[in-house]
Amino acid sequence: MRYLSLLLLGPWLIVLAWAYWAWSRHSHPQRSHRVYDVVVVALALAAAAGFALMAYDDVALQSVGDFGRKSGGIWKQVMPALWGYGAFAAVLLLATLARRTWRRRK
């Protein structure tokens, strides 16, 4: 169950990585830009996996009350997906902003 959130998040991360790759390939066809994009996507995937696994360990389940759990079980999968998506999007956003800054300097 530890990696379920990554399996659920994986297809969306692939779509976002493809969108980033297609956008950057369209606007920057040079080889150095492709290497930069490969590194960015790899870092984004590593950050997403790392943050998702960290969030899985940090989520505290609520105790069982008179009427059962208070929706605590679902958060063990939702929070890692949210943290993983946030880390992935943050890396792609920072890479896009860095690229724009470098382009403006040239």
pLDDT digits (tens, 9 = 90+) for 23-35: 877 666 677 778 8
Higher pLDDT, 63 or 93: 93
pTM reported for the whole predicted model: 0.79
β-sheet bridge partners, residue 68? 65
Q: Where are the beta strands (DSSP E) in the chain?
A: none
Task: Name the maximum alpha-carbon separation found in the chain.
Answer: 65
Task: Provide mean pLDDT across the span 14-41.
Answer: 82
Q: Tokens 């969030």 appear where?
A: 55
